[in-house]
Structure 1
Amino acid sequence: MTYNVFEVDEDKMFYSGDDLGFTFDKENINYRIWSPPAEKVYIDIYSDDRAEDKVAEYKLEQSINGTWQVKLTADIKGNYYKIRLKKESIETSFVDPWVKAVGTNSRCGLIVDPSEVFPPTWSYDKKVELNSPVDAVIYELHVKDFSISKESGIRHKGKYTAFTERHTTNREGLLSGLAHLKELGITHVHLLPVFDFATADDMDINSYNWGYDPLFYMVPEGSYASNPANESRIYEFKKMVKVLHSHDIGVIMDVVYNHTYQTESSPFEILFPDYFYRFDRLGKFANASGVGNEIASERPMMRKYIIDSLLYWSREYHIDGFRFDLMSAVDKKTILQAAERLKKENDSIIIYGEPWTALPPQLEKHQIFKKGSQKGTDIAVFNDNFRNTIKGDNDGQKKGFIQGKTDLEKEIYEGVIGSVGFPERSLYGFTQKASETINYADSHDNLTLWDKLAFSCPGADEKTRRKMHRLAMAVLFTSQGVPFIQAGTEFLRTKFGDKNSYNSGIFVNQLKWERKTTYNEHFNYIKGLINLRSHHPAFRMINKEEIRKKIKFIQSPVNTVGFYIDNHANGDGWEKVAVFYNPNHKWTQFNLPQKRTWAIVVDDKEAGTEPIRIFYSDEVQVPPLSAMVIYSAALLTGC
């Protein structure tokens, strides 16, 4: 029977069951697949992951709502498989999208029950709990970048198990790896794609890609496993999560539901031609992703697949959050339903994404999840307004606030208050509460912040650029919202000016752990900022009413920003906190709200929670190209 995707009765063909792919009971293995156009379906069993030694084949029976099913005996467990599907006299052998385990380079599916593969005490593993996403400090990291360097001191280079090595150091004895993450004080690692992706050779440690080329969405990537042919990737992924959790570090997955790596040959297109993808007016594959296709997330079975796979990672692998790549290409209803389902299972889950696409998506305007769509949804979006204000454009020579561009005070204030807006002061935003904004200065895309400063300020010496970098970090960590940094930012990460290093290899992308030694003072400064934020809830307010009430703007000199956070904001132990940003190349005087005793905890050289200097005055001098944070508390008054 021939199906036209545009004429199919989607309600009649929708399958709501949770048993697609393999399901296991004590005595049998059941398999079900969804393919309404199929005429015949077989499952071929192999003893090897190259599909060279076929040991059995089974025919599936047609079942309800476009599905096909078969009951198998338990003795096939541990073998490999492929699906063979016939329609319109064409037979295709492939691996289905509901696969939970695969062999080397994803040539075959692996018949294994993931729930039976886990490290010791896995059942006691607990996800990281948060009162609000604003309590998080997110650290964006690529698995291979983390440990592959010879300077890392890590034995399991480029592997999931690198995250389980507890006491590693670089050549000079400074902490690296997991110990470094704990020392820095971050709360969550955001892992660049760790589902199975296409363009890395599982057997070649030097093969490199960021991973935004999805292949099988419910399978951990094999190139990061010790043995990609078997269930090692499942075991080691869970062990990685468990060890990170034991150090109070959550795990966020970068997910790519806007496109697939393959198009005509993808398993989705084989199952039901043209159903899972969008098309333009000329009948060609739509391309909101910019790489050749665009997933039709609004179709019921694709929406189900997306939500099912997210829930699978949350349940099976204990994932703490999800970041959506090109989130605006996924329809709003799917995003909202996914968030609702995930939130029901984990109050502390963090969900955020890019509120844009590469090219316009084939969706109606009301279907697009854009900046502002997140209001009141417990979903956050990347704040590119704040990013561009801080540093200028991503890859060009345009300057931002930290490089001395003038007339940006208003935009900085908008970011400082978590983009909740303050119309009475002509400040506008796109959030309903501060937890909806991801505040960042750089990410894996584009130039690193350090490289951007070199490119946009070619005449500035390194000392000057280090000051600019510190100022950017101080702005991020003293602003309301959710702070996000790229791995290595704490020791001035460079990719040698490569603005799109997705396949540039290990030398460019690896974390250069020797830089922690070279720039240890800078590392300690960032660590201090994180410590300040983590211990002082004044920087982590949530609702806009409190933010508008407690943050007071100081009349400050031209091209500077000053504000104080008043009255033990958000239960903070400090009565008043004053923050100043001075991007000018000269000392600048700020007037304080009143004459009293103040303690400096952040200046141009140090950052933290302990007083650097105590003074009694109603004014303060802030060094060039720096931030300053001071506080006044009951214990300091009366001096």
Structure 2
Amino acid sequence: MFKQNIKNKPARLYYPGDDLGLTFSESEITYKIWSPPAQSAAIEIYADDQGTKKLEEFELQSAPSDTWKVKLPQKYYGNYYRLHLQLPRQEYNFVDPWTKAVGTNSEYGLIVDPSRIYPPTWTKDQRVVLEDPVDAVIYELHVKDFSISKESGIRHRGKYTAFTERHSVNKEGMLTGIAHLKELGVTHVHLLPVYDFATVDDTDPDDYNWGYDPLYYMVPEGSYASNPANESRIYEFKKMVKTLHSYGIGVIMDVVYNHTYHTQESPFQKIFPNYFYRFTEDSSFANASGCGNEIASEREMMRKYIVDSLLYWSREYHIDGFRFDLMSSIDRETMLLAENKLREENPSVLIYGEPWTALEPQLESYQQIRKGDQRGTGISVFNDNFRNALKGDSDGTGKGFIQGKIGLEREIDEGVIGAIGLEERRLYGFALQPGESINYLASHDNLTLWDKLARSCPGANEQQRKKMHKLAQVILFTSQGVPFIPAGTEFLRTKFGDNNSFDSGIEVNELKWERKTTYREHFNYLKGLINLRSHHPAFRMRNRSAIKENLHFIASPFGTVGYGIFNNANEDAWSKIIVLLNPSQEWKQFYLPESRTWAIVVDDQGAGTEPIRFFHSNEVMVPPISGMVIYAADLVTGY
């Protein structure tokens, strides 16, 4: 095992340079790898990405810090390569883990310089600027889901370039694609894995997977490119990012550093057997991921690889944020170093992750970032407490607040305040600041919210379930913290009850753009809520003290929640805002803090920033299964 291998190694197992893999100058190409156990190494050059014609082979020379390198003639630019590595007991022919370009299905590396490949005006591309994470509205999306449906009206269906088509519509003429994203008002698109993953055939347009099976971490996935054999994936990925940025929409990458798809056959295991993975006491691969292995992020060269690859995406592809899959299996020191380096690069970067693992990792508890351990780190975590309180369990028949379950009011209160805790109300949160709480009702995992409502409320009719869905969105978008929705939420996305559609294919997973027409009222409602949040900073307070000073819960009927945001909180134009949440099947009477003229901007029918109607009273009736947002109209100039 690895521990035994390194006992007799006197030198430190670390290389500090930033030139592993291929690097380029005007006159030559340098190829360098790090492999302490290597006995010899060579790079084989091929004319194509199928290996049918070998052009040349160059021996790598041993260099300091366990590296091997060689200089290649410039004429091989644009060709393909593999590393031939001789270890004490094994011999491998493969693509090294530092590659930044590959051919079809990642069989061969591609000798190109990504920094020379970019669309027009790429050098003037502007990232999305955020003053605080709470200003974000995150929209989780799979590249193929976005555009693969014929109903999308998009020509480059299932491709990166689908995001560059600015004027697509469905059959009824409603906006789809990137124009839809802008119309909805989201600030960031969270893309399910778009690094190179192993389980989809680049040449089969119908092949499907979410992509949580990493292969090459610094290469864009080939199946979303127009030509996976050449540099198209690099160019088109950058064009996608640039177009989204031109619409004011940031791009977040879903990254999976907790495991790799392959274990014995992974490039990490081949370059240095047993170094990059954790092992159990019986010498088996550890398995915190539940996927067969567990990356040893705490080892210096693995930590360096993770941080370097994150910085590479930030610098080379202008990525605005990163979501970490099973983040608790990545050691705390690595996560904090990554956060620090990324924020130096981009102060507006969004960094968040799952504060859990599938199985217990080979890490001490102090080395993990679980829910609550992120306090003050600049890293945010998913608030599953809020999620569960709102809708019940993720896949079963259990109910939550929005389905009318009694006794969850305190949990809703904790979510409303961004999980920061208010001891005087015996609310004990896990966040230091509201921006650390990613508030969500559903994600790519588990049932969609619409499917969950169908399973948990079989006796409810569609109209009642639509009201529950609306109520859920009212709570999400008026709560402190960072709202997160999966794509299609705005038109009641269904996956037909499939709670784990990672490889269920296009028909289950595609965004069905005809639903935007069918459920246009729901789309407009959600659009109105996002508009309300974006125009009213009272819903986006940035620190605990502001929430504690300005947000106060009010007495409300049994089984409901009511609260006010006062004092022109966070420099809001509205001095007094009241949010009333009624999940019951009866009208409920709420008493307001005072009698005055109030304007309703959200009720069971509509949502937005403009008054739906006015009333003058110290009480209001809230319809069944609905939320209501009102503000003191007589304190605002013009009303």
Q: TM-score, normalised by structure 2?
A: 0.99
Partner Cα separation in structure 2 for residue 91 and residue 51 of structure 1: 18
Partner of 2:614: 614
Partner Cα separation in structure 1 for residue 207 and residue 330 of structure 2: 30
Partner of 2:602: 602
> 1:71–1:636: structure 2 CA closer, same or farther, 3 Å change rule?
closer
> 1:161–1:417: structure 2 CA closer, same or farther, 3 Å change rule?
same
Partner Cα separation in structure 2 for residue 82 and residue 403 of structure 1: 56
Partner Cα separation in structure 2 for residue 241 and residue 8 of structure 1: 47
Aligned partner of 1:92: which letter? Y
Aligned partner of 2:494: which letter? T
Secondary structure of the structure 1 residue equivalent to 2:586 = coil
- Which residues of 2 match residues 429-440 of structure 1 at below 5 A? 429-440=429-440
Alpha-carbon deviations, 1:214-249, whole Å to 9, x = none? 000000000000000000000000000000000000
Aligned partner of 1:247: which letter? Y
- Which residues of 2 match residues 466-615 of structure 1 at below 5 A? 466-615=466-615
> 1:402–1:38: structure 2 CA closer, same or farther, 3 Å change rule?
same
CA shift at 1:90, angstroms? 2.7
> 1:467–1:228: structure 2 CA closer, same or farther, 3 Å change rule?
same
CA shift at 1:281, angstroms? 1.4
Contact 2:573/2:636 (8 A) holds in 1: no
Contact 2:330/2:368 (8 A) holds in 1: yes
Secondary structure of the structure 2 residue equivalent to 1:123 = helix
Aligned partner of 2:205: which letter? I
Please say if 1:461 is aligned against 2:461.
Answer: yes
Partner of 2:118: 118
> 1:583–1:10: structure 2 CA closer, same or farther, 3 Å change rule?
farther
Partner of 1:399: 399
Partner Cα separation in structure 1 for residue 453 and residue 633 of structure 2: 37
Secondary structure of the structure 1 residue equivalent to 2:340 = helix
- Which residues of 2 match residues 227-626 of structure 1 at below 5 A? 227-626=227-626
- Which residues of 2 match residues 161-240 of structure 1 at below 5 A? 161-240=161-240
Secondary structure of the structure 2 residue equivalent to 1:97 = coil
Partner Cα separation in structure 2 for residue 168 and residue 93 of structure 1: 45
CA shift at 1:6, angstroms? 5.1
Secondary structure of the structure 2 residue equivalent to 1:413 = helix
Contact 1:131/1:348 (8 A) holds in 2: yes
Alpha-carbon deviations, 1:449-489, whole Å to 9, x = none? 00000000001000000000000011000000000000000
Contact 2:597/2:634 (8 A) holds in 1: no
Partner Cα separation in structure 2 for residue 57 and residue 585 of structure 1: 75
Aligned partner of 2:263: which letter? T
> 1:565–1:11: structure 2 CA closer, same or farther, 3 Å change rule?
farther
Partner Cα separation in structure 1 for residue 398 and residue 192 of structure 2: 28
Secondary structure of the structure 2 residue equivalent to 1:222 = coil
Partner Cα separation in structure 2 for residue 194 and residue 423 of structure 1: 42
CA shift at 1:88, angstroms? 1.7
Partner Cα separation in structure 1 for residue 334 and residue 376 of structure 2: 16
CA shift at 1:11, angstroms? 6.4
Partner Cα separation in structure 1 for residue 444 and residue 573 of structure 2: 36
CA shift at 1:44, angstroms? 0.3
Contact 1:598/1:636 (8 A) holds in 2: no
Aligned partner of 2:491: which letter? F
Contact 2:574/2:636 (8 A) holds in 1: no
Percent of paired sites with the same residue: 67
Partner Cα separation in structure 1 for residue 614 and residue 569 of structure 2: 22
Partner of 2:51: 51
Deviates further, 116-125 or 46-55: 46-55
Contact 2:587/2:621 (8 A) holds in 1: yes
Partner Cα separation in structure 1 for residue 113 and residue 632 of structure 2: 58
> 1:8–1:399: structure 2 CA closer, same or farther, 3 Å change rule?
farther
Aligned partner of 2:352: which letter? Y
> 1:98–1:557: structure 2 CA closer, same or farther, 3 Å change rule?
same
> 1:48–1:638: structure 2 CA closer, same or farther, 3 Å change rule?
closer
Partner Cα separation in structure 1 for residue 7 and residue 431 of structure 2: 40
Contact 1:597/1:637 (8 A) holds in 2: no
Q: Supply the RMSD in Å over aligned alpha carbons.
A: 1.2
Alpha-carbon deviations, 1:374-425, whole Å to 9, x = none? 1111110000000000000000100000001101110000000000000011
CA shift at 1:4, angstroms? 3.5
Partner Cα separation in structure 2 for residue 479 and residue 10 of structure 1: 55
Please say if 1:42 is aligned against 2:42.
Answer: yes
Aligned partner of 2:79: which letter? N
Contact 2:598/2:634 (8 A) holds in 1: no
Partner Cα separation in structure 1 for residue 371 and residue 503 of structure 2: 29
Partner Cα separation in structure 2 for residue 435 and residue 10 of structure 1: 45
Partner Cα separation in structure 1 for residue 476 and residue 181 of structure 2: 19
CA shift at 1:72, angstroms? 1.1
Partner Cα separation in structure 1 for residue 632 and residue 64 of structure 2: 69
Partner Cα separation in structure 2 for residue 141 and residue 482 of structure 1: 17
Secondary structure of the structure 2 residue equivalent to 1:283 = coil
> 1:5–1:311: structure 2 CA closer, same or farther, 3 Å change rule?
farther
CA shift at 1:8, angstroms? 6.2
Partner Cα separation in structure 1 for residue 343 and residue 228 of structure 2: 32
Aligned partner of 2:626: which letter? S
> 1:311–1:5: structure 2 CA closer, same or farther, 3 Å change rule?
farther
CA shift at 1:542, angstroms? 1.2
Partner Cα separation in structure 2 for residue 636 and residue 87 of structure 1: 75
Contact 1:208/1:503 (8 A) holds in 2: yes
Contact 1:5/1:275 (8 A) holds in 2: no
Partner Cα separation in structure 1 for residue 376 and residue 429 of structure 2: 14
CA shift at 1:13, angstroms? 2.0
> 1:476–1:10: structure 2 CA closer, same or farther, 3 Å change rule?
farther
Partner Cα separation in structure 1 for residue 637 and residue 57 of structure 2: 82
Contact 1:5/1:274 (8 A) holds in 2: no
Aligned partner of 2:320: which letter? D
Partner Cα separation in structure 2 for residue 239 and residue 637 of structure 1: 44
Structure 2 stretches lacking a partner, 5+ long: none
Structure 1 stretches lacking a partner, 5+ long: none
Alpha-carbon deviations, 1:159-201, whole Å to 9, x = none? 0000000001001100000100000000000000000000111
Contact 2:587/2:623 (8 A) holds in 1: yes
Aligned partner of 1:297: which letter? S
Secondary structure of the structure 2 residue equivalent to 1:209 = coil
Contact 2:541/2:570 (8 A) holds in 1: yes
Contact 1:597/1:638 (8 A) holds in 2: no
Partner Cα separation in structure 2 for residue 360 and residue 256 of structure 1: 17
Partner Cα separation in structure 1 for residue 360 and residue 292 of structure 2: 13
> 1:9–1:436: structure 2 CA closer, same or farther, 3 Å change rule?
farther
CA shift at 1:3, angstroms? 8.5
Partner Cα separation in structure 2 for residue 606 and residue 281 of structure 1: 59
Contact 2:139/2:186 (8 A) holds in 1: yes
Partner Cα separation in structure 2 for residue 630 and residue 10 of structure 1: 70
